[in-house]
Structure 1
Amino acid sequence: MRDPRLLAKPPVCRLGCLVLVRNQCGDVLLVDPDYMDGLILPGGAARPNEPPHLAAARHLRAETGLNLRLTEVIAVDFTPADRYLERLNLVFDGGTVPDHVRLTVPPQHKSGLLGARFVPTHELPHHMAPAQAARAAEALANRSLPVLLHGQRAA
Protein backbone atom coordinates (compact mmCIF):
# COMPACT_ATOMS: atom_id res chain seq x y z
CA MET A 1 0.00 0.00 0.00
CA ARG A 2 1.28 3.47 -0.87
CA ASP A 3 1.21 6.19 1.70
CA PRO A 4 0.14 9.40 -0.11
CA ARG A 5 2.06 11.46 2.45
CA LEU A 6 5.32 10.05 1.10
CA LEU A 7 4.55 11.24 -2.43
CA ALA A 8 2.87 14.54 -1.52
CA LYS A 9 6.12 16.49 -1.52
CA PRO A 10 9.12 14.39 -2.51
CA PRO A 11 12.56 15.74 -1.62
CA VAL A 12 14.32 17.77 -4.29
CA CYS A 13 17.57 16.18 -5.38
CA ARG A 14 19.09 16.09 -8.83
CA LEU A 15 20.65 12.84 -9.95
CA GLY A 16 23.88 13.33 -11.88
CA CYS A 17 24.76 10.50 -14.26
CA LEU A 18 28.40 10.59 -15.34
CA VAL A 19 30.59 8.24 -17.36
CA LEU A 20 34.27 7.38 -17.02
CA VAL A 21 35.60 6.23 -20.40
CA ARG A 22 39.24 5.35 -21.06
CA ASN A 23 41.18 4.84 -24.25
CA GLN A 24 43.64 1.98 -24.71
CA CYS A 25 46.43 4.10 -23.18
CA GLY A 26 44.35 4.54 -20.00
CA ASP A 27 43.62 8.22 -20.62
CA VAL A 28 40.24 9.51 -19.38
CA LEU A 29 37.64 11.13 -21.63
CA LEU A 30 36.67 14.63 -20.47
CA VAL A 31 34.39 17.28 -21.93
CA ASP A 32 34.93 21.04 -21.82
CA PRO A 33 31.69 22.86 -20.90
CA ASP A 34 31.45 26.55 -21.73
CA TYR A 35 29.53 27.25 -18.51
CA MET A 36 32.29 26.34 -16.03
CA ASP A 37 36.05 26.38 -15.63
CA GLY A 38 37.87 23.13 -16.19
CA LEU A 39 37.03 19.83 -17.78
CA ILE A 40 34.51 17.31 -16.45
CA LEU A 41 33.42 13.74 -17.01
CA PRO A 42 30.72 13.47 -19.68
CA GLY A 43 27.16 13.18 -18.39
CA GLY A 44 24.35 15.17 -16.90
CA ALA A 45 21.14 15.09 -14.93
CA ALA A 46 18.58 12.31 -15.22
CA ARG A 47 15.05 13.24 -16.20
CA PRO A 48 12.25 12.41 -13.74
CA ASN A 49 11.90 8.62 -13.49
CA GLU A 50 14.67 8.03 -16.05
CA PRO A 51 16.90 5.09 -15.08
CA PRO A 52 20.33 6.54 -14.26
CA HIS A 53 22.32 4.23 -16.56
CA LEU A 54 20.12 5.27 -19.48
CA ALA A 55 20.50 8.95 -18.58
CA ALA A 56 24.29 8.57 -18.49
CA ALA A 57 24.28 6.77 -21.86
CA ARG A 58 22.01 9.46 -23.35
CA HIS A 59 24.29 12.29 -22.23
CA LEU A 60 27.44 10.45 -23.36
CA ARG A 61 25.96 9.86 -26.82
CA ALA A 62 24.78 13.48 -27.11
CA GLU A 63 28.10 14.96 -25.93
CA THR A 64 30.61 12.67 -27.66
CA GLY A 65 28.81 10.42 -30.14
CA LEU A 66 29.81 7.31 -28.15
CA ASN A 67 27.06 4.74 -27.78
CA LEU A 68 28.01 2.54 -24.82
CA ARG A 69 26.07 0.10 -22.67
CA LEU A 70 26.49 1.13 -19.03
CA THR A 71 25.76 -1.46 -16.36
CA GLU A 72 28.18 -0.78 -13.51
CA VAL A 73 28.66 2.10 -11.08
CA ILE A 74 32.23 2.83 -9.99
CA ALA A 75 31.66 5.84 -7.71
CA VAL A 76 28.87 7.62 -5.85
CA ASP A 77 29.39 11.25 -4.87
CA PHE A 78 26.99 13.43 -2.90
CA THR A 79 27.35 17.13 -3.64
CA PRO A 80 25.59 19.54 -1.26
CA ALA A 81 23.66 22.48 -2.64
CA ASP A 82 25.69 25.39 -3.89
CA ARG A 83 24.84 26.86 -7.29
CA TYR A 84 22.55 23.93 -8.03
CA LEU A 85 20.11 21.84 -6.05
CA GLU A 86 21.80 19.25 -3.91
CA ARG A 87 22.49 16.10 -5.89
CA LEU A 88 23.80 12.61 -5.96
CA ASN A 89 26.31 11.84 -8.72
CA LEU A 90 26.72 8.30 -10.03
CA VAL A 91 29.81 7.54 -12.10
CA PHE A 92 29.33 4.67 -14.54
CA ASP A 93 32.11 2.57 -15.99
CA GLY A 94 32.21 3.25 -19.73
CA GLY A 95 35.08 0.83 -20.20
CA THR A 96 37.85 1.18 -22.75
CA VAL A 97 37.36 2.38 -26.30
CA PRO A 98 39.85 1.94 -29.18
CA ASP A 99 42.44 4.70 -29.56
CA HIS A 100 41.13 5.45 -33.05
CA VAL A 101 37.57 6.12 -31.81
CA ARG A 102 36.09 9.26 -33.33
CA LEU A 103 34.42 11.71 -30.95
CA THR A 104 31.64 13.84 -32.36
CA VAL A 105 30.92 16.88 -30.19
CA PRO A 106 27.90 18.92 -31.32
CA PRO A 107 28.37 22.63 -32.04
CA GLN A 108 28.79 24.80 -28.94
CA HIS A 109 25.53 26.68 -29.50
CA LYS A 110 23.63 23.37 -29.27
CA SER A 111 25.66 21.48 -26.67
CA GLY A 112 27.29 24.09 -24.45
CA LEU A 113 30.57 22.21 -24.99
CA LEU A 114 33.84 23.59 -26.30
CA GLY A 115 35.13 20.10 -27.05
CA ALA A 116 36.11 16.70 -25.69
CA ARG A 117 39.44 14.94 -25.35
CA PHE A 118 41.29 12.15 -23.60
CA VAL A 119 43.57 13.29 -20.76
CA PRO A 120 46.28 11.16 -19.09
CA THR A 121 45.28 10.21 -15.55
CA HIS A 122 48.26 11.93 -13.95
CA GLU A 123 47.17 15.22 -15.58
CA LEU A 124 43.55 15.15 -14.34
CA PRO A 125 44.23 17.50 -11.37
CA HIS A 126 45.64 20.08 -13.81
CA HIS A 127 42.53 20.07 -16.02
CA MET A 128 39.68 19.59 -13.53
CA ALA A 129 38.36 21.37 -10.45
CA PRO A 130 39.61 19.64 -7.27
CA ALA A 131 36.28 17.95 -6.46
CA GLN A 132 35.88 16.79 -10.08
CA ALA A 133 39.43 15.39 -10.17
CA ALA A 134 38.93 13.61 -6.84
CA ARG A 135 35.69 12.06 -8.14
CA ALA A 136 37.48 10.79 -11.26
CA ALA A 137 40.40 9.44 -9.21
CA GLU A 138 38.07 7.55 -6.88
CA ALA A 139 36.16 6.13 -9.85
CA LEU A 140 39.43 4.94 -11.41
CA ALA A 141 40.45 3.22 -8.15
CA ASN A 142 37.19 1.44 -7.34
CA ARG A 143 35.64 -1.86 -8.25
CA SER A 144 32.27 -1.69 -9.88
CA LEU A 145 28.80 -2.27 -8.47
CA PRO A 146 25.98 -3.54 -10.67
CA VAL A 147 23.12 -1.22 -11.62
CA LEU A 148 19.86 -2.63 -10.34
CA LEU A 149 16.31 -1.73 -11.39
CA HIS A 150 13.73 -3.03 -8.94
CA GLY A 151 16.28 -5.55 -7.65
CA GLN A 152 17.25 -6.91 -11.07
CA ARG A 153 20.42 -6.21 -13.03
CA ALA A 154 19.82 -3.51 -15.64
CA ALA A 155 19.83 -4.75 -19.20
Structure 2
Amino acid sequence: MQDPRLLAKPPVCRLGCLALVRNQRGDVLLVDPDYMDGMILPGGAARPDEPPHLAAARHLHAETGLVIRLAHILAVDFTPADRYLERLTLVFDGGAVPDGTQITVPAQRQSGLLGARFVPARSLPDFMAPSQAARAAEALANRSLPVLLHGQRAA
Protein backbone atom coordinates (compact mmCIF):
# COMPACT_ATOMS: atom_id res chain seq x y z
CA MET A 1 0.00 0.00 0.00
CA GLN A 2 1.31 3.43 -0.94
CA ASP A 3 0.94 6.28 1.49
CA PRO A 4 -0.32 9.37 -0.41
CA ARG A 5 1.61 11.59 1.99
CA LEU A 6 4.84 10.11 0.67
CA LEU A 7 3.81 10.74 -2.92
CA ALA A 8 2.79 14.38 -2.42
CA LYS A 9 5.01 16.99 -4.00
CA PRO A 10 7.76 17.88 -1.50
CA PRO A 11 8.80 21.48 -0.89
CA VAL A 12 11.31 22.90 -3.35
CA CYS A 13 14.83 23.25 -2.02
CA ARG A 14 17.98 23.92 -4.02
CA LEU A 15 20.88 21.59 -3.31
CA GLY A 16 24.24 23.32 -3.40
CA CYS A 17 27.30 21.11 -3.82
CA LEU A 18 30.66 22.68 -3.02
CA ALA A 19 34.23 21.39 -2.82
CA LEU A 20 36.82 22.51 -0.30
CA VAL A 21 40.21 21.95 -1.91
CA ARG A 22 43.49 22.89 -0.25
CA ASN A 23 47.08 23.09 -1.39
CA GLN A 24 50.02 21.63 0.55
CA ARG A 25 50.21 24.76 2.76
CA GLY A 26 46.53 24.46 3.69
CA ASP A 27 45.39 27.41 1.57
CA VAL A 28 41.82 27.10 0.28
CA LEU A 29 40.88 27.18 -3.41
CA LEU A 30 38.30 29.87 -4.21
CA VAL A 31 36.69 30.95 -7.46
CA ASP A 32 35.67 34.51 -8.28
CA PRO A 33 32.21 34.66 -9.91
CA ASP A 34 31.35 37.77 -11.93
CA TYR A 35 27.75 37.68 -10.70
CA MET A 36 28.43 38.30 -6.98
CA ASP A 37 30.73 40.19 -4.66
CA GLY A 38 33.49 38.14 -3.14
CA MET A 39 34.93 34.73 -3.85
CA ILE A 40 33.31 31.37 -3.12
CA LEU A 41 34.19 27.69 -2.88
CA PRO A 42 33.95 25.96 -6.27
CA GLY A 43 30.65 24.21 -6.90
CA GLY A 44 27.04 24.76 -7.77
CA ALA A 45 23.58 23.28 -7.81
CA ALA A 46 22.86 19.60 -8.37
CA ARG A 47 20.68 18.62 -11.30
CA PRO A 48 17.50 16.61 -10.63
CA ASP A 49 18.43 13.09 -9.46
CA GLU A 50 22.17 13.88 -9.58
CA PRO A 51 24.05 12.56 -6.55
CA PRO A 52 25.44 15.59 -4.72
CA HIS A 53 29.06 14.38 -4.59
CA LEU A 54 28.99 13.95 -8.37
CA ALA A 55 27.45 17.41 -8.82
CA ALA A 56 30.22 18.96 -6.73
CA ALA A 57 32.87 17.06 -8.71
CA ARG A 58 31.26 18.14 -12.00
CA HIS A 59 31.25 21.80 -11.01
CA LEU A 60 34.79 21.59 -9.62
CA HIS A 61 36.04 20.17 -12.90
CA ALA A 62 34.11 22.69 -15.01
CA GLU A 63 35.34 25.65 -12.95
CA THR A 64 38.96 24.66 -12.27
CA GLY A 65 39.88 21.69 -14.46
CA LEU A 66 40.49 19.56 -11.35
CA VAL A 67 39.28 15.97 -11.31
CA ILE A 68 38.90 14.90 -7.69
CA ARG A 69 36.86 12.08 -6.18
CA LEU A 70 34.65 13.55 -3.46
CA ALA A 71 33.63 10.96 -0.90
CA HIS A 72 33.32 12.87 2.38
CA ILE A 73 31.20 15.77 3.61
CA LEU A 74 32.74 18.45 5.83
CA ALA A 75 29.70 20.66 6.43
CA VAL A 76 25.96 20.90 5.82
CA ASP A 77 24.52 24.41 5.67
CA PHE A 78 20.80 25.26 5.49
CA THR A 79 19.83 28.73 4.26
CA PRO A 80 16.17 29.76 4.62
CA ALA A 81 14.41 31.31 1.66
CA ASP A 82 15.20 34.96 1.10
CA ARG A 83 15.24 36.36 -2.42
CA TYR A 84 16.05 32.81 -3.57
CA LEU A 85 14.56 29.43 -2.73
CA GLU A 86 15.67 27.81 0.50
CA ARG A 87 18.97 26.03 0.07
CA LEU A 88 20.78 23.08 1.54
CA THR A 89 24.50 23.29 0.81
CA LEU A 90 26.90 20.38 1.23
CA VAL A 91 30.63 21.05 1.43
CA PHE A 92 32.70 18.09 0.26
CA ASP A 93 36.31 17.40 1.18
CA GLY A 94 38.44 17.82 -1.93
CA GLY A 95 41.63 17.09 -0.03
CA ALA A 96 44.99 18.68 -0.75
CA VAL A 97 46.41 18.99 -4.25
CA PRO A 98 50.17 18.85 -4.88
CA ASP A 99 52.07 22.10 -5.22
CA GLY A 100 52.16 23.25 -8.83
CA THR A 101 48.78 21.72 -9.68
CA GLN A 102 47.40 23.58 -12.70
CA ILE A 103 44.08 25.37 -12.17
CA THR A 104 42.28 26.05 -15.46
CA VAL A 105 39.38 28.51 -15.35
CA PRO A 106 37.30 28.65 -18.55
CA ALA A 107 36.75 31.98 -20.27
CA GLN A 108 34.46 34.34 -18.35
CA ARG A 109 31.81 34.35 -21.08
CA GLN A 110 31.48 30.55 -20.70
CA SER A 111 31.94 30.14 -16.96
CA GLY A 112 30.92 33.43 -15.38
CA LEU A 113 34.20 33.30 -13.44
CA LEU A 114 36.84 36.00 -13.22
CA GLY A 115 39.45 33.57 -11.93
CA ALA A 116 40.50 31.23 -9.15
CA ARG A 117 43.22 31.23 -6.52
CA PHE A 118 44.38 29.64 -3.30
CA VAL A 119 43.80 31.85 -0.26
CA PRO A 120 45.31 31.32 3.20
CA ALA A 121 42.61 29.98 5.55
CA ARG A 122 43.10 32.86 8.00
CA SER A 123 42.42 35.34 5.15
CA LEU A 124 39.10 33.85 3.98
CA PRO A 125 37.04 36.66 5.62
CA ASP A 126 39.00 39.17 3.50
CA PHE A 127 37.97 37.46 0.25
CA MET A 128 34.50 36.02 0.95
CA ALA A 129 31.11 37.26 2.10
CA PRO A 130 30.67 36.64 5.85
CA SER A 131 28.30 33.69 5.43
CA GLN A 132 30.56 32.11 2.79
CA ALA A 133 33.68 32.56 4.95
CA ALA A 134 31.89 31.12 7.99
CA ARG A 135 30.79 28.07 5.97
CA ALA A 136 34.37 27.50 4.74
CA ALA A 137 35.80 27.94 8.25
CA GLU A 138 33.34 25.42 9.69
CA ALA A 139 34.20 22.95 6.94
CA LEU A 140 37.91 23.37 7.69
CA ALA A 141 37.33 22.75 11.39
CA ASN A 142 35.24 19.58 11.05
CA ARG A 143 36.00 15.93 10.61
CA SER A 144 34.50 14.43 7.51
CA LEU A 145 31.45 12.20 7.20
CA PRO A 146 31.15 9.60 4.43
CA VAL A 147 28.87 10.17 1.47
CA LEU A 148 26.20 7.48 1.32
CA LEU A 149 23.94 6.44 -1.56
CA HIS A 150 21.05 4.27 -0.39
CA GLY A 151 22.98 3.46 2.79
CA GLN A 152 26.19 2.41 1.04
CA ARG A 153 29.41 4.39 0.75
CA ALA A 154 29.52 6.17 -2.60
CA ALA A 155 32.05 4.81 -5.06
TM range (shorter): over 0.9
Q: Does 1:53 align with 2:73?
A: no
Aligned length: 155
Map of 1:88 onto structure 2: 88
Distance in 2, Cα, partners of 1:7 & 1:63: 36
- For normalisation by structure 1, the TM-score amounts to 0.97
3-state SS, counterpart of residue 115 of structure 2:
strand
Instruction: Show structure 2 runs of 5+ residues with no match.
Output: none
Could you tell me how far 1:54 is from its partner in structure 2?
0.2
- CA shift, 1:81, in A, is 1.2
Q: Give percent identity, aligned residues only.
A: 83
1:70 is paired with a residue whose SS is coil
What letter matches 1:7 in structure 2?
Answer: L
CA distance in 2 between counterparts of 1:154 and 1:66 reads 19
The runs of 5 or more residues in structure 1 that have no matched partner are none
2:71 is aligned to 71
- Higher mean alpha-carbon deviation, 78-87 vs 64-73, is at 78-87
Moved over 6 A (4+): none
* SS state at 1:24 partner: coil
TM score, norm. by length of structure 2: 0.97
Displacement of 1:10 in angstroms is 1.8
Q: Secondary structure at the match of 1:82?
A: coil
Query: RMSD of aligned C-alpha atoms?
Result: 1.0
Q: Deviations over 1:95-147 (max 9, x none)?
A: 00011000110101110100000000111000000000000000000000000
